[in-house]
Amino acid sequence: MKNAVTPGDYRPRRDAFWFARSRAYTVFVLRELTSVFVAWAVVFLLLLVDAVLGGSLAEFAALAARPWMIAINVLALAATCFHAITFLNLAPKATVVRLDGYRLPAWLIQGGNHSLWLAVSAIIAFFVLRGFQ
């Protein structure tokens, strides 16, 4: 039997948009894709530090003021916020906190994470905005 089919011969077609069939998978793929924008935010911050330390802050400010750079950074901010929110929402699945044998509910862990994020952001904003006065 020359043309016999063996179990390893069947290969189902792969769907390029497999993740679009489920909201959970879509959010997972989007969160993974936002990592590129998180990396860009880190690179941009390192470029800013280099400009401050190297004395080329005026050139960096001119580059950062270009419309395409502003658009990329606004997109990076939105993607980074999405990444952070979805990451913090996963914390109760990865961390089990027990007090006296009682497991803390997910909303309490998520609320603590988001509250701490908001508090740290407010402290940073206070010092940054105070520097502009």
pLDDT in the model for residue 9: 72
What's the predicted TM-score (pTM) here?
A: 0.74
- The answer for residues whose C-beta is within 8 angstroms of residue 36's C-beta and 6 or more apart is 79
pLDDT in the model for residue 47: 95
pLDDT in the model for residue 40: 96
* Residue 23 sits in the same domain as residue 64: yes
Query: Which range of residues forms the domain containing residue 52?
Result: 18-84
The tens-digit pLDDT sequence of the chain (133 residues) is: 566 667 677 777 878 888 888 898 998 898 999 999 999 999 999 999 999 999 889 999 999 999 999 999 999 999 999 999 988 988 888 888 888 889 889 899 999 999 999 999 999 999 988 877 6
pLDDT in the model for residue 3: 65
Q: Is residue 7 assigned to a domain?
A: no
As a whole number of angstroms, the distance between CA 119 and CA 44 comes to 24
Q: Is residue 9 assigned to a domain?
A: no
* Residue 95 sits in the same domain as residue 80: no
**Backbone region of residue 101 per phi and psi (left: phi > 0; alpha: psi in -120 to 50; beta: other values):** left
Q: Is residue 10 assigned to a domain?
A: no
pLDDT in the model for residue 2: 61
Q: Is residue 5 assigned to a domain?
A: no
Q: Is residue 97 assigned to a domain?
A: yes
